[in-house]
Structure 1
Amino acid sequence: MKIFVVGAHGQIGQLLVHKLLDRGDTVTGGYRDPLTQTPDPQKNFRAVELNLAWPVSRLTELFAGHDAVIFAAGSRGKDLLGVDLDGAIKTMKAAEADDVGRFIMLSALDAEDPAKWPEELHDYYIAKYYADEWLIHNTDLDYVIVQPTALTNDTAQGTITLQPQRPSTIPRADVADVLVAALDSNRHRETIKIASGNTPIAEAVKS
């Protein structure tokens, strides 16, 4: 599968690129500065410049020929409107214009329910809420929205639950594995909520 990773320089994005390459996919990573990357042609990897401030038409050129787009970008609170909201919607529009077969969206737990938003992350959740709403109600993309609970850099467990409770956590490495598993899953236009649990990731995500 030929996959474009938006936000390939982020913590989850970096893990995601390696996991996709390890399973044999052809990967294009979108970076603000692609010169910081070292492509390995033997692993079918290409680093390209990607700025989510660009117009949709330019993103459409980048996504052409890809089977899937994974949106794993985040501004870490520095540009919530430009990256987490507007940038996300631009990638959806570009993917749809290119007839990309699969769109995987990294979101946040309970983004659709304002009553459950952590107060300290309120603005971030606003961006995630409207980005997810656009994907669900304004596109025909074959999407899976992945909503993880609080992220950690702990060692991957390889197991999750789809019924997370607060407070809970999940390693970023497990989130990356869920994003990969979602590509080939039988889930279509679905949202899945995840936290560390006892079910193997492949089993939990497949259907």
Structure 2
Amino acid sequence: MKVLVIGASGRVGSDLVEKLLADNHQVIGTTRQDQQLFDADNYSQLNLDITAEKDDIQKQLADDIDAVYFVAGSGGKDVLEVDLHGAVKTMQAVQDKGIKRYIMLSTVFSLDTSKWGNPAIADLKDYYIGKHYADEWLVNDSTLNYTLVQAGALKEQVGTGKITVNSDKAGENAIADVAATLVAVLDADSASKKVFHIQNGETPIKEAIASL
């Protein structure tokens, strides 16, 4: 597949691109950095500014893209501009371009405001509000064939290739396993139009995705 990864230079994004390249997908990574992130024949790079107007974003998208990942993040800065407005503009641009498949990395309980009393979430309230409404737009207002993967706390841990899906607890995630989960949902029918959250667990990733 020809896959666009928005946020290729991030912690999850870089792992995701490496895995997609290893699976022989043709990958376009977006970053604001000048240097080429990956040296591979099946990799190219795009300086895509998601704070630009929607039409400007859309003009930069190739006509033959099969799927789009959104794994970008503001890092707590410009939350509304990046995590909310920027994300929604990419959804709108992708949809208007006629691209159907859109995979979003989000955060645990982004759509369940009843869980936001947790102190760890309360400290990230602005971020959660931005993610909430971006995710709402994807699920309720877009016509995209979406998958919304909500991860718990991202940790620099050794990946196990195993996860737990839809636990009542927020949990932690090895970054490598988040990236592997994002790869696994790419062409999984079971992940079509699905929202689920993941954390470190005991179920092999492909088995967990097949059970959605």
**Which bin holds the TM-score, normalised by the shorter protein?**
over 0.9
Return the alpha-carbon distance in structure 2 between the equivalents of residues 132 and 168 of structure 1: 20
Distance 2:56 2:28 in 1: 15
Partner residue of 1:193 out of 194, 197, 211:
197
2:157 counterpart of 1:159? no
Number of the residue aligned with 1:28? 28
Per-residue deviation, residues 86-117 of structure 1 (Å, max 9, x unmatched): 00000000110111121000111111111212
Map of 2:4 onto structure 1? 4
Structure 1-normalised TM-score? Answer: 0.95
Shift in alpha-carbon separation, 1:39–1:194, aligned structure 2, 3 A: closer
Matched, 1:174 2:177: yes
Give structure 1 regions of 4+ aligned residues with deviation exceeding 4 angstroms. Answer: none
Unaligned runs of 5+ in 1: none
Could you say if the C-alpha distance between residues 59 and 167 of structure 1 is closer, same or farther in structure 2, counting changes exceeding 3 Å? closer
2:105 equivalent to 1:106: yes
Amino acid at match of 2:198: I
Q: Tell me if structure 1 keeps the 8 A contact 2:9–2:37.
A: no
CA distance in 2, matches of 1:91, 1:8: 15
> What CA distance in whole angstroms lies between the structure 2 residues aligned with 1:95 and 1:106?
16
1:70 is matched with which residue?
Answer: 69
Query: Are 2:2 and 2:66, in contact at CA under 8 Å, matched by a contact in 1?
Result: yes
* Cα deviation, residue 62, structure 1: 2.5
Partner of 1:88: 87
**1:131: which partner in 2?**
134
Aligned residue pairs, count: 205
Tell me the TM-score normalized by structure 2: 0.93
Counterpart-to-counterpart distance in 2, 1:37 and 1:191:
33
| Partner of residue 55, structure 2 | 57
Give the superposition deviation at 1:164: 2.3
Contact 1:96 1:141 in 2 (8 A): yes
Q: Secondary structure at the match of 1:107?
A: strand
